[in-house]
Amino acid sequence: MQADKAKINRLLKTARGQIDGIIKMVEEDRYCMDISNQILAADAILRKANKEVIRAHIKGCVKAAFEDGNEDKKIDELIEMMDKITR
């Protein structure tokens, strides 16, 4: 993985903490909209982490594939990932 591991770990641990908090909110029968807002916040952090991983992949692996003349596979991987992201 080419991404800044410390940054990715920090984001993922933050998301994990938020998810633990959401589980507690559900167990405590907290207000639905408060729970929903926290779910959206956790989702935003996970999306940010994913963007960082993809950005590093493009700057590292994809760039190297273009330099080596092996770009087709990496382009296909990116297209497949974009399809997943936009679902």
- Mean pLDDT score across all residues of the chain: 95
Domain of residue 64 covers 5-85
Alpha carbon distance 13, 31 (integer Å): 25
Measured at the CA of 45, the angle between CA 40 and CA 48, to 5 degrees, comes to 125
Q: Where are the alpha helices (DSSP H) in 1-87?
A: 5-27, 32-57, 63-68, 71-85
Note the pLDDT tens digit of each residue in 25-66: 999 999 999 999 999 999 999 999 999 999 999 999 999 999
Q: How many domains does the chain have?
A: 1
Alpha carbon distance 21, 28 (integer Å): 10
Cα 77 off chain centre by: 16
pTM for this one? Answer: 0.85
CATH number, position 65: 1.20.58.1000
